[in-house]
Amino acid sequence: MRTDLVPAAEALSIILQGAAPAGEETVAIGEAAGRILSRDLTALRTQPPFPSSAMDGYAVRGADIASVPVKLVLIGESAAGSAFPGSVASGQAVRIFTGAPVPKGADTVVMQENTRAEPGSVTILVTAATGKSVRKAGLDFQRGDTLLSAGFVLDPQRLSLAASMNHASVPVWRKPFVAIASTGSELRLPGAEPGPDQIIASNGFGLAAIVRRSGGEVLDLGIVRDDRSALTAAFTRALERGADLLLTLGGASVGDHDLVLPVLRDLGATFHFSKIALRPGKPLLAGEIVHGGRTVRILGLAGNPVSSLVAGNVFVAPLVAAMAGRNSGRSHPVPAVLGCDLPANDERQDYLRASASRNREGQLEVTPFGVQDSSMLAALVRADVLLVRPAGAGPARAGDPCSVILLREI
């Protein structure tokens, strides 16, 4: 295990090494929202399967309506789901509705508003170019077209397209199963009456939300005391339940009660590193443990709420997204300008909680809060962005370019 402060970018690439989904499964189209396609999907049919009307109106031959007004004999009706069986000859028209098959012989639909209906006939009042308001067969897609690619999230649009392609079920990646343990003898669940030396466990809820948003499923190990046997029992449960990733909160530092690393080592885990050059959140354990022939990843986050949520965004979200099979998932920093001067930074990459607004030039102007304590959740919620200050950055002036991670739309 490395003992230096690992630079943030290097830590992320070590964490992401070999991260991939554990397998595929098939789910019903009605259950597939938000899942990630594991294979490209090909259309099983052509849409529309026949030339169809884009309007309520009359199906005619374009040549018949070159000069208007012109009276045509009405020979029948074509509605969605019940086509006109015959064909349209010169001088004839068929009443037609949106989505209905355009009858043989007809090549044009005149919208209802441009006609006058009479018993047994219709007078076309406004001409229409041949082909107008007719959707050609295959306008949307052809049978055999590959329209959806592996790695994409089935969002509402893609889900609807998969259904239209006639897939009753779809192949998706298995969701990574992520066990989350909130470690600390001082912790109580929200709603409890904490004792004088206790606090409420908070960040496990935020981390579970990050895991789910990134495509993972959560196994909640709850609160675990800073006690070797309690930790051993909780971690063993995660392994036996088949977790793909064990995420621990708290107890990752070097204090006497920080037992996550030694307990996991006793269970056979190996670690890549335990500290990163990042603020907030210097302690970060990255490792793995083999259980029943399967490699289970381990990420141990600092317990301070802001530290763990920053690590959640910077490390957990991309790792879970990669394990979920998403071809995207990193929150890439976006360019901004500083709203104030900043002193030089030390050797740790800093994620400063900051307010942001658009200046007159439309740039995102960001100003970090004066107090940056890693325990302050209320301040994190007030922040619009995390201002990324690279390790070793020199002093900066108001107006200088910088980069930020957006915490909300601005």
Site string for ligand AMP, 166-185 (x = CB under 6 A): ----------------x-x-
Indicate whether 201 belongs to the interface with ligand AMP (CB under 6 A). yes
- Omega before 171 cis (within 30°)? no
Indicate whether 187 belongs to the interface with ligand AMP (CB under 6 A). yes
Residues 284-323 contacting ligand AMP, CB under 6 A: 302-305
Candidates 303, 329, 325, 327; CA nearest to 315 is: 329
| Residue linked to tokens 């709203």 | 339
**Nearest approach, Cβ of residue 291 and ligand AMP (Å):** 25
| Rounded-to-integer distance, Cα 48 and Cα 10, Å | 50
| Rounded-to-integer distance, Cα 406 and Cα 410, Å | 8
- Residue 302's binding partner out of ligand AMP, Mg ion, none, with CB under 5 to 8 Å set by partner kind: ligand AMP
| Residue linked to tokens 């289970």 | 296
Site string for ligand AMP, 248-287 (x = CB under 6 A): -xxxxx----------------------------------
**Nearest approach, Cβ of residue 257 and Mg ion (Å):** 6
| Three-state DSSP state, 98 | coil
Q: Which of 77, 186, 217, 227 binds ligand AMP (CB under 6 A)?
A: 186
| Rounded-to-integer distance, Cα 24 and Cα 5, Å | 37
Indicate whether 368 belongs to the interface with ligand AMP (CB under 6 A). no
Q: How far apart are the first and last CA of the chain?
A: 41
Indicate whether 47 belongs to the interface with ligand AMP (CB under 6 A). no
**Contact stretch for ligand AMP (CB under 6 A) within 20-28, 245-253, 270-278, 352-360:** 245-253
Indicate whether 101 belongs to the interface with ligand AMP (CB under 6 A). no
For Mg ion, the binding residues (CB under 5 A) are 184, 250-251, 303
Backbone dihedral angles phi then psi of residue 33, each to the nearest 5 degrees: -55, 130
Query: Which lies closer to ligand AMP via its Cβ, residue 25 or residue 373?
Result: 373
Q: CB–CB of 317/308 below 8 Å?
A: no
| Rounded-to-integer distance, Cα 275 and Cα 277, Å | 7
| Residue linked to tokens 């884009």 | 54
Per CB under 6 A, residues contacting ligand AMP are 182, 184, 186-187, 199, 201-204, 249-253, 302-305
